[in-house]
């Protein structure tokens, strides 16, 4: 049996390609170019070394590396780059994508399965891309009696809130999207939006299974947010600050998990509950309520929720690293670049083909070494968060609430008393011996 359809004709294919090229040229000429011209009128061009870099200057610089690098360096240090690429959304999205693939392969190995295999020549590495294309191509089905504006907005708000959470996590010295003095308070404020978005999405679907899952999620998140906040009060007492970057700097000699192991355990357990991970995945108990509050989402709406979920996972893992594992602090892995390269740059092939590359502050040793240590620690915490899914069973709702309201809150107060003893005993804090 031939793999080519009976009606296939090479001439029809060529004609279709030519038609598509023709209409693309027409649309770009009549619509694209005028839009670009209008945008260029109102856009503010970057200023590098006191000179305005317009599009013509940028195109000219592309042919001369020594001219383009100052612009590249300026863009890499801009707020736009931090938000879009590193350490903002792009960086977190790559980690989230890698987390999805690693989780599927790891669970498959634990359960004696293969996992993603066929899509991509190397262990199904392109399976995630295939799933994304599938979700984009799927029809979005809205329940007939749903509150459509809220139902449409909920996945977008969920992903946006997760992105705001990511923006507060410092990756390396000076590399954080929003370095605010009340960073830890802002983290708790952002986390407080997730229960609201969850219950709104469940209610707006006007379906009983999502509503039951939303009520479960609301009870679970509210129950575990209290010990979550209490577990970090000890660190605030020891450091005297709510700024996350300053908390990392306070761990230059030792991580706080050494003195706050109880708080670290409580914080990690609450992370599992906030992320609705096994054994706390009751809001999505597929054997009871299908997919919980996600039941009615389809297509890319479901994809946005999943993206937000894994962005949230990365942010919680990064927050654990920042608070308890020393953040970017660690021994030197990469030897530092010579100071003259960082400040003055280098010269390639002196003579007729001389290319002078100016200084690259991004090659600063603290930035590279700090990013590596933050990544290693964060990946380790993510693996620990993923592991219970293949090991532990789901617990009952009454057991879950008992753990949150009684055991974890009690342990949180124990952690606070330990912090008070360290401060007033003169071990840590202002005037302490450490």
CB of 305 closer than 8 Å to CB of 294: yes
Please determine, for residue 7, whether its predicted confidence score (pLDDT) is greater than 80: no
CA 12 to chain centre: 46
Structural domain that includes position 31: 12-74
Region of poorest pLDDT, from 3-7, 58-62, 120-124, 156-160: 3-7
Task: Write the pLDDT tens digit of every residue in 59-117.
Answer: 666 666 556 666 666 677 777 788 888 888 889 989 988 898 888 888 888 888 888 87
Assign 298 to helix, strand or coil. Answer: coil
Residue 433 lies in a domain: no
Residue 266 clears pLDDT 50, i.e. is over it:
yes
Specify the number of domains making up the chain: 2
Average pLDDT over residues 376-386: 93
- CB contact at 8 A, 262 and 418: yes
Range with top average pLDDT, 81-95, 135-149, 362-376? 81-95
Helices and strands of the chain, counted as H and E runs:
19, 4
Asked if 135 and 60 sit in the same domain, the reply is no
Closest CA to 378 of 106, 238, 109, 170: 170
pLDDT at 54 over 90: no
User: Range with the lowest mean pLDDT among 202-206, 207-211, 238-242, 366-370?
Assistant: 207-211
- For residue 132, what pLDDT is reported? 81
Q: Are residues 364 and 417 in the same domain?
A: yes
Shared domain for 271 and 313, answered yes or no, is: yes
Is the same domain home to 213 and 266?
yes
**Same domain flag for 60 and 134:** no
How distant is the alpha carbon of residue 120 from its chain centre? Answer: 25
Q: What is the pLDDT of residue 89?
A: 87
Pairing assessment for the beta strands 47-48 and 51-52 based on DSSP bridges:
antiparallel
The answer to whether position 358 is within a domain reads yes
Domain-ending residue, one of 52, 74, 96: 74
Q: What pLDDT, on the 0 to 100 scale, is given for residue 233?
A: 92
Place 171 in a pLDDT band, splitting at 50, 70 and 90: very high
60 and 93 assigned to the same domain: no
* CA 39/CA 56 separation, integer angstroms: 15
Q: At residue 152, does pLDDT exceed 70?
A: yes
pLDDT confidence of residue 78: 74
Q: Where are the alpha helices (DSSP H) in 63-147?
A: 65-76, 79-84, 89-110, 127-137
In this structure, of 131-135, 243-247, 283-287, the range with the lowest mean pLDDT score is 283-287
- Segment among 156-165, 224-233, 360-369, 387-396 with least mean pLDDT: 360-369
Same domain? For 169 and 222 the reply is yes
Site of tokens 């707020």: 79
Record the tokens describing residue 411, joined without a space: 């342990």
Q: Are residues 233 and 168 in the same domain?
A: yes
pLDDT digits (tens, 9 = 90+) for 29-49: 888 777 877 766 666 666 666
Regarding whether 140 and 67 lie in a shared domain, the answer is: no
Confidence at residue 2, expressed as pLDDT on a 0 to 100 scale: 47
* Residues 66 and 113 reside in one and the same domain: no
Tens of pLDDT, residue by residue over 293-349, are 778 887 888 888 888 889 999 999 999 999 999 999 988 887 766 666 656 666 665
């Amino acid at each position: 049996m031939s793999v080519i359809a009976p009606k296939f004709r090479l001439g029809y294919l060529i004609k279709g390609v030519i038609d598509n090229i023709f209409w693309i040229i027409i649309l770009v000429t009549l619509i694209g170019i005028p839009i670009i011209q209008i945008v260029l009128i109102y856009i503010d061009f970057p200023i590098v070394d006191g000179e305005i870099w317009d599009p013509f200057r940028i195109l000219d610089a592309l042919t001369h590396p020594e001219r383009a690098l100052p612009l590249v360096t300026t863009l890499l240090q801009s707020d736009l780059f931090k938000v879009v690429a590193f350490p903002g959304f792009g960086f977190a999205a790559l980690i989230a994508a890698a987390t999805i693939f690693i989780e599927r392969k790891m669970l498959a190995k634990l359960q004696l399965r293969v996992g993603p295999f066929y899509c991509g020549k190397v262990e199904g590495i392109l399976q995630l891309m295939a799933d994304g294309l599938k979700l984009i191509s799927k029809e979005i089905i809205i329940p007939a009696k749903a509150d459509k504006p809220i139902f449409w907005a909920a996945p977008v708000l969920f992903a946006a809130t997760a992105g705001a959470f990511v923006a507060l996590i410092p990756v390396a010295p000076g590399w954080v999207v929003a370095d605010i003095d009340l960073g830890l308070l802002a983290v708790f404020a952002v986390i407080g939006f997730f229960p609201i978005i969850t219950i709104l999405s469940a209610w707006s679907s006007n379906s009983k299974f999502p509503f039951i899952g939303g009520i479960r999620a609301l009870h679970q998140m509210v129950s575990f947010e209290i010990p979550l906040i209490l577990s970090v009060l000890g660190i605030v007492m020891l450091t005297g600050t709510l700024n996350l970057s300053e908390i990392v700097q306070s761990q230059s000699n030792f991580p706080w998990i050494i003195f706050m192991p109880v708080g670290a355990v409580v914080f990690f357990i609450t992370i599992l509950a906030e992320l609705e991970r096994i054994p706390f995945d009751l809001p999505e108990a597929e054997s009871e309520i299908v997919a919980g509050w996600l039941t009615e989402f389809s297509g890319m709406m479901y994809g946005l929720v999943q993206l937000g979920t894994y962005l949230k996972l990365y942010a919680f893992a990064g927050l654990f690293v920042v608070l308890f594992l020393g953040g970017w602090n660690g021994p030197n892995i990469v030897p530092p670049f010579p100071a003259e390269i960082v400040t003055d740059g280098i010269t390639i092939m002196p003579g007729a083909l001389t290319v002078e590359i100016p200084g690259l502050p991004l090659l600063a040793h603290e930035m590279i070494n700090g990013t590596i240590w933050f990544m290693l620690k964060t990946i380790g915490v993510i693996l620990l968060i993923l592991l219970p899914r293949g090991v532990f069973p789901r617990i009952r709702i009454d057991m879950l609430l008992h753990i949150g309201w009684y055991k974890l809150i009690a342990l949180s107060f124990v952690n606070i008393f330990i912090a008070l003893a360290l401060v007033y005993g003169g071990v840590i804090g202002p005037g302490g011996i450490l």
